[in-house]
Amino acid sequence: MSELTAFGHSLSSGYEVVVIKPQSLSDTTLIVQALRADKAVILNLEHLDVAEAQRISDFAAGSTYAINGHQSRLGDGVFLFTPNVINIQERTAVPTPAGLV
């Protein structure tokens, strides 16, 4: 489970999350534009072939690193990239014993 927290702000105070499903490597500019505008990016690469998805995720990771941002893998082919004003805190859910809700 990942939790988004913004330094000194709640996400309801103007921070945005953008979902990007790129069709090709040329769509990577959308990722950079969003990060530079202090928006979090959920990058969905599930529908791309492995080689293209790898190139795009590498580009996004490099761009995020360059702005001192953060990244997290949410699932197969789905990633979260945030600018440095938004921190990702990953926490593992504690399983509940059987029969308890």
pLDDT tens digit sequence for 18-51: 999 999 999 999 999 999 999 999 999 999 999 9
For the chain, the domains span 16-82
Structure tokens at 16: 């945005």
Sign of CA pseudo-dihedral 54, 56, 57, 59: positive
- The Cα–Cα gap between 21 and 17 comes to 13
- Residue 13: pLDDT over 90: no
Residue 6 has pLDDT above 90, yes or no: no
DSSP state of 91: -
Do 16 and 40 touch, CB atoms closer than 8 A? yes
Entry pTM: 0.76
pLDDT-based confidence at 59, cuts 50/70/90? very high
> Does residue 69 surpass a pLDDT of 50?
yes
Specify the CATH number of the domain 16-82. 3.30.110.150
